[in-house]
Structure 1
Amino acid sequence: MTKNKRPKNRAPAKSRKLSVLSFLYGVLILGLASIAGYAFYQQKSTPDEGRITATVSIADTVKGKHEGEVPPSRAAKEEPPVQIEEPTPKAEVTVEEPAALEKPEDPEVKDIAVAETKSEDKQTETPAPAPEKTAEPTETVRQEEPISEPEQIQKPTEEKPVEPQPVKEEPTAEEKPQPVEPEKAEVTETLASPPEEEKKAEPTVKEEAPKTPEVTPEPKIAQEPPKPVGPLPPVPDPSLAAKSDFGLLPVISPDGRKPWRVYARPFDDPLSRPRIAIIIGDMGMSKFATRSAIQDLPGEITLSFNPYGRDLQNWVAQARAAGHETLLQLPMEPFGYPDNDPGPQSLLSRLTDKENLNRLEWMLGRFTGYSGVTNQMGSRFTTSSEDISPIMDVIRDRGLLFVDGRTSGRSVAGYVAKQKSVPVAINNRFISNRADRASIDQRLAELERIARITGVAIGVGYPYPVTLERLAVWTKSLTRKGLVLAPVSAVVNSQEIQ
């Protein structure tokens, strides 16, 4: 019984092996037969027409990936079948194409169908297949490109990795923004070497940037102080002086020239900056103070000389040689007189007009070369229009200017001078009522504020050492503050007088 069971189990195994082998052999035979039939079919078909249509479809699908795109090769060649028939060695494709088509079996049938439809429609010559069919062969054709024809199909394959055509089109697209460059020669160079454009465009911008700041002399002019004025001409001018019992008195020349203009310090500010005038009084009373003011202070500061000083004409000559404009102080009656005594020749309200005018001539003849006069004390005398009016008539007739020291808030001297057409200026601040740095610096800052608001400010000080020291420092800072130091003759008739 055991011997009969073993052969029964072995017999079906052999039959299965034979069935599998026969199936495989049948598949191989069918495959070989299909290959032979496909080769025989291609031999019977026209070699030129079928291949030409295949190459045209490949070129079209490679260069024009979308339906609406027209490849440049076909745009230049309106009759592709006539020009593509020239290469004869296309017979090589018959041997190489099956090798590539063996791997993808399904796409082969689609390519053959497309080739047959295009060979039948030679007259149309346009890629008329449906958009779905054209999209599929483009993917298959990209795999077949290296195996296809060496002359026509290898060109698009090389263009994909290197893409020479888009590189040539890029400079043409870049030519549109390049019209900004004026020279045409540079554009031709940029087409040959586009990286050189960026190198050339950068230095042009860098060269233009520094050119703009070169044309900026205005801030330099704004910081430059006025040109220094040399020594003023010696005095007196013979045509501006008349002899009297008290010496030479100022007069208007026959040709109309006035002392306040001729003896003034020249001044010109093209920037029209706010002006500040500083007057230092009591010159000639102390040799040390007078010498220090003349030598240490800028020439734009006006020096006012006391008529009781000694050797006044010599001091005035030194002051003018240093560029200073000069004034004459007129002592006038203050409140509290005679306890506050301005001097033996001062103008007093208790005196007659004739007596005051006689004293005035004595003071005017003390020296020559001054452009105007200012009051010393006079807090009471300047508040009386009756007392000050005859004085203003003389000042006007002799061609002088008047500076109201404003020793009293009720002074009418400035108003009377304006009514009588006398060139007038009014003091805004006394700089050195207190001889300390903080007080002097505060008053100078107030003058700056007034000058910025009204355009003009006038300060009066005395030749204390601290005053001269603070003025020497302060005057150097005016230029960077946008202010200018001016002689008093440059600020007359520029203030509001009430």
Structure 2
Amino acid sequence: MPNASAGKAGPVAVKRMRGWRGLGWFWLVVAAVVALAAVTAKLLPEPDTAPGMAPSPASAVDLGPVPPAAPPLGHVTAAPDAELLEAGPHGAVPRIAVNGRTSMRAYAHRPEDPPSQRPRIAMILGGVGLNPGIAEQAVQQLPPAVVLAINPYSQRLPALLAQARSRGFEMLVALPMESRGHPQNDVGDRALLTTLDPAANRDRLLWVLGRFQGYVGALGALGPLRGERFAALSEPFWAMQDSLRARGLLYVDARPGVPHPERAWGRTIDIVIDEPADRGTIDLNLAALERMARERGVALGLGSDITPILIERITRWAAGLEGRGVMLAPISSMLQRPVAQP
């Protein structure tokens, strides 16, 4: 008969044997994993460098300094350049750089498309800046090939200008000049007037030009007021154009039907599209502008006074231009040479 005490101890011994056997399998698996890791490490190539260490002479490749990232062409307008500025009595004003560079080229919109033979339309939106909310809507919604004419009496310009540059807009400064119906049609206390002497008008021009920096030129209009009276006097009108040209700026005459600027690089507006500023009239004038571009090769339109309706109609119209074989282009791409220079 089996020993009674042995019978009682049997289950305990079996449990101990099973425990040791399980521990043995555990260590066997660990050893296998370690061996596999060692083999894998030998098969993989050694890194050239350790973290924080320079590459060894045998593996180092001199790629030179990393160039700064260039902004996408046509997406960013150049920031104001000190070489294109000089001190004025009311702020920094444009000048031609010593190497001949001009603002009308340095701050021009850079279209992504290469030059083509398609009909081209330039569109200027006037009166931008007095209402910051509507100005921001224009910057966010309009294609960057539209040119923004900034009102010099605007108060909160830095944020607007930064947004416009970040999207690649070409900008003009709106130039207040004595208009038909003055003084009832008030163009502000810094306007160029027929009753002022040349020195006073020069000072007012410098005030306007010093309101902000980074524009390609001036538009001869403040909203719907287009300086008809001031432009009717040849001498002061030519003197203003001479000053713009001498500072490397272009000039856009906002009076449809008059000749192109005589003393400054620039162009004259062909059609004012928002008179009156209802949807039907705007759409008809945009269609007429497109027909003119097909007939002549180029056309220049002006939306004289920024409104939500005007922004919406220009945006919709511009979205279909490419499909109709017409290119929206900045004003700097279609300048006329001055007819006469002193």
Identity percentage of aligned residues: 39
Deviations 1:253-308 (A, max 9, x none): 11110111001111354432111011011111001110011000000000000110
Partner of residue 475, structure 1: 318
Gaps of 5+ in 1: 1-226
Alignment of 1:297-308 (within 5 A): 297-308=142-153
Pairing 1:343-382 to 2, within 5 Å after superposition? 343-376=188-221, 377-382=226-231
The alpha-carbon distance between structure 1 residues 391 and 495, as it changes in their structure 2 partners (threshold 3 A), is closer
The higher relative CO (CA closer than 8 Å, separation ≥ 6) is in 2
Residue 292 of structure 1, aligned match among 112, 130, 137: 137
**Are 2:259 and 1:416 equivalent residues in the alignment?**
no
1:496, distance to aligned residue in structure 2 (A): 10
- Label 1:287 to 1:434 Cα distance change in 2 as closer, same or farther (>3 A): same
CA distance in 1, matches of 2:338, 2:309: 29
Which digits, 9 at most, give the CA deviation of each residue in 1:177-220, with x for residues without a partner? Answer: xxxxxxxxxxxxxxxxxxxxxxxxxxxxxxxxxxxxxxxxxxxx
The CA distance in 2 between the partners of 1:334 and 1:398, in whole Å, is: 25
Give the structure with the larger helix fraction: 1
Cα distance, 1:322 vs. partner?
1.2
Decide whether the 8 Å contact of 2:134 with 2:308 is kept in 1.
Answer: yes
1:384 aligns with 233
Q: Secondary structure at 2:190's aligned position in 1? A: coil
CA deviation map 1:405-464 (0-9, x unaligned): 016x5x56x3423xxxx2111101111111211101100001011101111111111221
Equivalent residue of 1:340, what SS? coil
Structure 2 stretches of 5 or more lacking a match? Answer: 1-71
> What's the counterpart of residue 99 of structure 1?
none
Rounded Cα–Cα distance in structure 2 between residues aligned with 1:428 and 1:468: 19
Kindly indicate whether residue 281 of structure 2 is the aligned counterpart of residue 432 of structure 1: no
Q: Hey, what's the Cα distance between the residues in 2 that align with 1:475 and 1:496? A: 32
CA contact (8 A) 2:261 2:338 kept: no
Report the Cα offset of residue 249 of structure 1.
0.6
- For residue 380 of structure 1, give the secondary structure of its aligned residue in structure 2: helix
- Cα contact 1:456–1:494 (8 A) shared by 2: no
Deviation by residue 1:153-196 (Cα, 9 ceiling, x = unmatched): xxxxxxxxxxxxxxxxxxxxxxxxxxxxxxxxxxxxxxxxxxxx
| Number of aligned residue pairs | 263
Within a 5 Å distance, the mapping from 1:53-452 to structure 2 comes to 229-234=74-79, 236-267=80-111, 268-376=113-221, 377-406=226-255, 409=257, 411=258, 414-417=260-263, 422-452=264-294
Q: Aligned equivalents of 1:479 and 1:458: distance in 2?
A: 17
SS at match of 1:282: strand
Alignment TM-score, normalising by the size of structure 1: 0.51
SS at match of 2:176: strand
> Following TM superposition, by how much is the alpha carbon of 1:314 offset from its aligned partner in structure 2, in angstroms?
2.9
C-alpha root-mean-square deviation of aligned residues, in Å? 2.0
1:340 and 1:487, CA in 2 relative to 1: closer, same or farther beyond 3 A? same
Q: Distance in 1 between matches of 2:78 and 2:262?
A: 32
Q: Residue 232 of structure 1 contacts residue 321 of structure 1 at CA under 8 Å; is this kept in 2? A: yes
Looking at structure 2, the residues matched to 365 and 415 of structure 1 have their Cα atoms a distance apart, in angstroms, of 22
> Conserved in 2, the CA contact under 8 Å of 1:385 and 1:416?
no
Measure the CA separation in 2 of the matches of 1:231 and 1:453: 32
